[in-house]
Amino acid sequence: MRTMKFPKRYLVVILTFICTSVCYIERVGFSIAYTFAADAAGVNQASKGTILSTFYYGYACSQVPGGWAAQKIGGRKVLLLSFVLWSATCALVPLDPNRVFVMVIARLLVGVSQGFIFPSIHTVLAQWVPPHERSRSVSLTTSGMYLGAAAGMLFLPSLVKYRGPQDVFLAEAALGAMWSLLWFKYASDPPRSEHPKATAAGFGESMLPINGSHKLKIENGGSSVRSAKIPWKRIILSLPVWAIVVNNFTFHYALYVLMNWLPTYFELGLQLSLQEMGSSKMLPYLNMFIFSNIGGVVADHLVTKRILSVTRTRKLLNTMGFIVASLALMAIPIFRTSSGAVLCSSVALGFLALGRAGFAVNHMDIAPRYAGIVMGVSNTAGTLAGIIGVDLTGKLLEAARSVDSSLSSPESWRLVFFIPGLLCIFSSLVFLLFSTGERIFD
């Protein structure tokens, strides 16, 4: 009896899913552990915002270099190296809010290391995943971020309470080391026999790093000399690329503000203890995990069944996700109970994740060969959103504190949630006008 072979590309996708989960456990874990330690040390909100946003400065600096390195060296190798570096930093650096310089350097290092991860992942997926599986593969991989954030919100507050904030760092480093071993053992570049029509399909061995003299066979039996030169000018001037960039900025502005400041909103805005909230505090991120995968399955179904074109599919899911998310974001300060805040933040993050089946997969639609590069460019914008949004929120709250010392009034938080809400409306319009699902880069 013939046994079915588990395709290697599925294993690669699963490993990238675990990768993003561990990365976001680290990010949420730092926010929880540092908030606990900083509040105990009497650090003000503006200073907290500065430290929380430091990660994103390092992250922004390494996005485009990460795409370049993945293109030239290979996403598989770059991904492993970046994981080892940030895990080692977490293991070796002590958490002490009073040692500001040490905290800044540590967060910069972690940010730089993790900045190589997503461009590398997109390069790996462009090599392994055929076009008709891209939506659900990218959605599954990125949904790991939300499952990791949910797990962090569920388990790490108790770890902080019973073991102390430093143990969060050690736990994250251990997870990073374990994933690195799995990736080293099981990941590989796609073999030449895996995709015999790779060039025509736009994936597989034709996506591997190349040199200036490398020749690629194409389906009609001829050959084409592919230059390793990256078309930077065309990428930077492309309106479809800018449509992705704008939406990536907005998505991450909303995500990073909620990820870094939702614990403070629960604690100070609603006077709730994270430990006492139980599992409800993880629901927004769990909702992101669910909706991200729903979006990927729906998008692939619409495309493969020819119900909608790739372009219309991307625009439909992006618009639906961002418009509903904008309404939910602006409603958060209206509800003054834990259930109301959890519901609104869950809807907001869930539909933002649904929108990723629009703009996030679009990297590989328009530029499969340069997916890591385009991802690096757009993720730089997303990272700038983290720098701006997280730091600006701290300043807004510090200004609001002069009026409401406890930050418990809805007025203190209105601007915090209205800004990303309005950005969602603007971004959805930009994507409707300028995006495309067609391949525009060779």
Topology at the third CATH level for domain 8-189+233-434: Growth Hormone; Chain: A; (1.20.1250)
Nearest to 27 by CA among 376, 339, 390, 381: 390
Task: For 258-291, write each residue's pLDDT tens digit.
Answer: 877 887 888 888 877 766 666 777 788 888 889 9
Encoding tokens for residue 233?
């000018």
Pair 288, 349: CB distance under 8 Å: yes
Residue 80's φ and ψ, nearest 5 degrees, are -65, -45
The reported pLDDT for the residue numbered 8 is: 85
**Looking at this protein, which amino acid is placed at residue 46?**
A
Q: Using the 8-state DSSP alphabet, how is residue 223 labeled?
A: E
Residue 349 has pLDDT above 90, yes or no: yes
Specify which residues 216 forms β-bridges with: 224
CA triplet 277, 335, 396: central angle to 5 degrees? 90
For the chain, percent of residues with pLDDT exceeding 70: 89
- Integer Cα distance of 390 and 224 in angstroms: 47
CA dihedral angle for residue 169, residue 11, residue 14, residue 309, rounded to 10 degrees: 150
- Distances, alpha carbon 100 to alpha carbons 14, 169, 352, 383, in Å: 37, 17, 34, 22
Specify which residues 217 forms β-bridges with: 223
- Integer Cα distance of 68 and 382 in angstroms: 18
**Looking at this protein, which amino acid is placed at residue 173?**
A
Pick the range with the lowest mean pLDDT from 197-211, 345-359, 388-402.
197-211
Both ends of the chain: CA-CA distance in Å? 43
The reported pLDDT for the residue numbered 387 is: 82
Dihedral sign of CA atoms 414, 416, 419, 425 in order = negative
The reported pLDDT for the residue numbered 274 is: 66
Tell me the H-state helices in 73-99. Answer: 75-92
The reported pLDDT for the residue numbered 113 is: 92
Task: For 396-440, write each residue's pLDDT tens digit.
Answer: 988 888 777 778 787 888 999 999 999 999 999 999 999 998 888
The reported pLDDT for the residue numbered 221 is: 37
Which carries the bigger pLDDT value, residue 6 or residue 9? 9
Q: Using the 8-state DSSP alphabet, how is residue 193 labeled?
A: T
Which secondary structure element, helix H or strand E, spans residue 225, and what is its range?
Answer: strand 223-225
Mean pLDDT of all residues in 50-60: 84
Confidence of residue 174 (pLDDT cuts 50, 70, 90): very high
Question: Which three-class secondary structure state does DSSP give residue 215?
Answer: strand
Q: Using the 8-state DSSP alphabet, how is residue 226 labeled?
A: P
Residue 75 has pLDDT above 70, yes or no: yes
